[in-house]
Amino acid sequence: MFFKTQKTDSGSLGQLGERIAQDYLKKSGYRIVETNFKNTTGRCLGEIDIIAKKEQALFFIEVKTRRGSSSKIILPEENINSQKLKRLAKIIQIYIKKKNLYDFPYQIDAISILIQPDSRKFNLRHLKNIFL
């Protein structure tokens, strides 16, 4: 788990969270492979926020961003429920098939970003290897 406080930039909340997450991942040695991947055939299942690579593994990363204080009861990652994880697992399988990446190990991570309402700071937590 990683917890960090920094200043934020302007922009929509979701886009801002994804930019913060990408910056964090790059500084942590990940290479961003793709962002906002959506399945283009069949019923739309949603999207994978960030697909990254580190060493010889793929990381499918869900980013959740909220404004509020850390004393709030609902944290951003609490919006990642079993239904969301099941849809994400289906999209991951579509991605793996489309890119022919059957031999790559992978994991699902989440990055939770809580942006402080009265300042331009945020708290970031990297939740590794979340699963069904």
Fold of 4-127: Trna Endonuclease; Chain: A, domain 1 (3.40.1350)
Taking only the tens place, the pLDDT of each residue in 3-51 is 444 444 445 888 999 999 999 999 999 999 999 999 877 777 789 999 9
Domain boundaries, the chain: 4-127
Residue 41 backbone dihedrals phi, psi, to 5 degrees: -120, 150
Please tell me the distance from the alpha carbon of residue 113 to that of residue 64, in angstroms, as a whole number. 6
This prediction's pTM: 0.84
User: Which pLDDT does position 4 carry in this prediction?
Assistant: 47
DSSP-derived letter for residue 71 is T
What's the residue count for the chain? 132
Whether the predicted pLDDT of 69 surpasses 60? yes
